Amino acid sequence: MIVAERKPFDEIKSMVKDCKKVFTVGCSTCVAVCLAGGEKEVGILNSELEIARNADGNPIEIGTATLQRQCDTEFLLELKGKIEDYDAIISMACGAGIQFLAEHYPDIPVFPAVDTTSIGINKDVGVYEERCRACGTCVLGMTGGICPVTMCAKGLYNGPCGGTNLGSCEINKDQACAWFKIHERLVKQDRLQNIMDVTPPNDWRNQIPRTTIQPAYKERCEEQKA
């Protein structure tokens, strides 16, 4: 899932300091699962804002909705007619959702209430670890299922570097050396041959705004454009 964490309250408060009426929009998918921007967190943020602004003697009016996803037009359109009178929208979705919301309602300022941190996994209640940087050409097959882009501090495709230190990474004793782990797992699976050859680098020129069209839909996209 996409993992995000709530921004510090003061930051949010200062973004909407000039607003009398704001509308907070939560997202029921990724950010709800990682406990950052679902209906509950929306409620909490709204109450925080209300309490703080009342204390300042500058009350704020808050409207609210939690959409299924903020990264789909159809769900975003559910806001139509509800938000136009507000001074600003606070979105609790990931960065993609926030941008898409802002794109759909370009006349209203949209503020992020979360920091999007990673594509990650759930370790424990409220604990998430990054696992993927969306490099666009996955090499997990070669590395025994451990991502060198994310887990190696240098993102090496041919590791480890000279800094590997008895299983730890040279940047920090508490961070595992990704390549040590890769080696360990490949040995266990008897697939060490995998990393004996030099792996060519990823084509990092792909780090532009990427559009993904599933193969089955390529032709229809082209025809629809024409």
Binding site for other proteins (CB under 8 A): 28, 68, 72, 74, 215-217, 219-220, 223
Q: Which does 15 bind (CB under 5 to 8 A by kind): ligand SF4, other proteins, none?
A: none
| 3-class state of residue 35 by DSSP | coil
Cβ 223 to other proteins, closest distance in Å? Answer: 8
β-bridge partners, 164: none
Q: Which does 217 bind (CB under 5 to 8 A by kind): other proteins, ligand SF4, none?
A: other proteins
CA distance 165 to 171: 10
Structure tokens at 12: 């949010």
Nearer to ligand SF4 (CB atom), residue 19 or residue 101: 101
Cβ 80 to other proteins, closest distance in Å? Answer: 9
- Residues engaged in binding ligand SF4 (CB under 6 A): 2, 27, 29-31, 69-71, 93-94, 96-97, 132-135, 138-140, 147, 149-150
Going 155 to 147 to 214 to 36, the CA torsion angle's sign is negative
Question: 67 with 73: CB under 8 angstroms?
Answer: no
Q: Which does 219 bind (CB under 5 to 8 A by kind): ligand SF4, other proteins, none?
A: other proteins
Q: Which does 93 bind (CB under 5 to 8 A by kind): ligand SF4, other proteins, none?
A: ligand SF4
Question: 62 with 82: CB under 8 angstroms?
Answer: no
- Collect all residues with Cβ–Cβ distance below 8 Å to 56 and sequence separation of at least 6: none
